[in-house]
Amino acid sequence: MDIRLLSGEALRPFIDDLARLRITVFREYPYLYDGSPDYEAGYLDSHVRSAWSLCVLVIDEGRVVGASTGLPLLDEAEAFQQPFLAQGWNPERIFYFGESVVLPEYRNTDLDRRFFEERERFVRGLDRFDWCAFCALRRPPEHSARPAGYRSPDAFWLQRGFTPQPSLQTEYHWRDIGEQRETAKSMMFWLKELT
């Protein structure tokens, strides 16, 4: 597998591949996302326009099979900035870790660890951020689409030094598979101080 670290405009040739990957992976539980290529291309454009974005791209035999993104919180959507602004945080000092998505046949290959390591190394090299943050969807444990044997990634995130922040939550809207319209989803932030 070829692992590439790309920023800004270097992402543009991979937008369609990243959109397909996100749609494929996010259809799974817990996101159950019924996405579209046009929406994904628009979402990913913020990463292309950001001077300090990062995409850790995994390519196998010419096919994009995994990716992990990040960019300064100020370059993310307002829904992700607002909880921090409301509580007096300086968003200029926070780097936002976006999604990590991997096709099923490439999971359990230590890519999750590598994604976090590469993003943290990148952020530390910029020397302008004090915190890394990401947010995660919470579905109720009794959700009808929860697969048997589903394991939450919380333990892995705790091992990486991130802590959940119940006071920092946002709502994001998308259409679940089988829904006729978008609905609000509650997402909680996790933080790690860069010391």
In this prediction, residue 108 carries a pLDDT of 79
CATH number corresponding to 2-141+153-193: 3.40.630.30
pLDDT recorded at residue 92: 97
How do the domains of the chain map onto residue ranges? Answer: 2-141+153-193
Rounded Cα distance between 104 and 21, Å, is 11
81-132 pLDDT, tens digit per residue, is 999 999 999 999 999 999 999 999 999 779 999 999 999 999 999 999 999 9
Percentage of the residues of the chain whose pLDDT score is greater than 70: 100
**pLDDT, mean over the chain:** 95
pTM score:
0.95
Query: What is the number of helices (H) and of strands (E) in the chain?
Result: 5, 7
CA dihedral sign of residues 22, 25, 30, 35: positive
pLDDT exceeds 90 at position 195: no
Peptide bond connecting 147 to the previous residue in cis, omega within 30 degrees of 0? no
